Chain A
Amino acid sequence: QQQVKQSPQSLIVQKGGISIINCAYENTAFDYFPWYQQFPGKGPALLIAIRPDVSEKKEGRFTISFNKSAKQFSLHIMDSQPGDSATYFCAASKEHGSGNTGKLIFGQGTTLQVKP
Chain B
Amino acid sequence: DGGITQSPKYLFRKEGQNVTLSCEQNLNHDAMYWYRQDPGQGLRLIYYSQIVNDFQKGDIAEGYSVSREKKESFPLTVTSAQKNPTAFYLCASSIYSGTGSYEQYFGPGTRLTVT
Please give the residue numbers on chain A whose beta carbons come within 8 Å of chain B beta carbons, in ascending order: 6, 9, 32, 34, 36, 41-46, 49, 89, 93, 95-96, 100-104, 106-109
**Residues A43 and B42 in contact, CB atoms below 8 Å apart:** no
Q: What are the residues of chain B within 8 A of A34 when measuring CB–CB? A: 103-104
Indicate the size class of the contact surface on chain B: 20 to 34
Q: What are the residues of chain A within 8 A of B74 when measuring CB–CB? A: none
Please give the residue numbers on chain B whose beta carbons come within 8 Å of chain A beta carbons, in ascending order: 4, 6, 31, 33, 40-45, 48, 50, 56, 58, 90, 92, 94, 96, 98-99, 101-109, 111
Most buried by B among A41, A43, A104: A43
16 A/B residue pairs, CB under 8 Å, sorted by A: A32-B101, A34-B103, A41-B111, A43-B90, A43-B92, A43-B108, A43-B109, A46-B104, A89-B42, A93-B102, A102-B31, A102-B104, A103-B33, A103-B58, A106-B44, A108-B40
Q: What are the residues of chain A within 8 A of B45 when measuring CB–CB? A: 103-104
Q: Using a Cβ cutoff of 8 Å, how many contacts connect chains A and B? A: 64
| Given contacts A46-B103, A93-B102, A102 and B42 within 8 Å (CB-CB) | no
Q: What are the residues of chain B within 8 A of A6 when measuring CB–CB? A: 42
| Given contacts A41-B109, A43-B90, A106-B42, A101 and B50 within 8 Å (CB-CB) | yes
**Residues B48 and A101 in contact, CB atoms below 8 Å apart:** yes
- How far is the CB of A1 from the nearest CB of chain B, in Å? 13
Q: What are the residues of chain A within 8 A of B90 when measuring CB–CB? A: 43-44
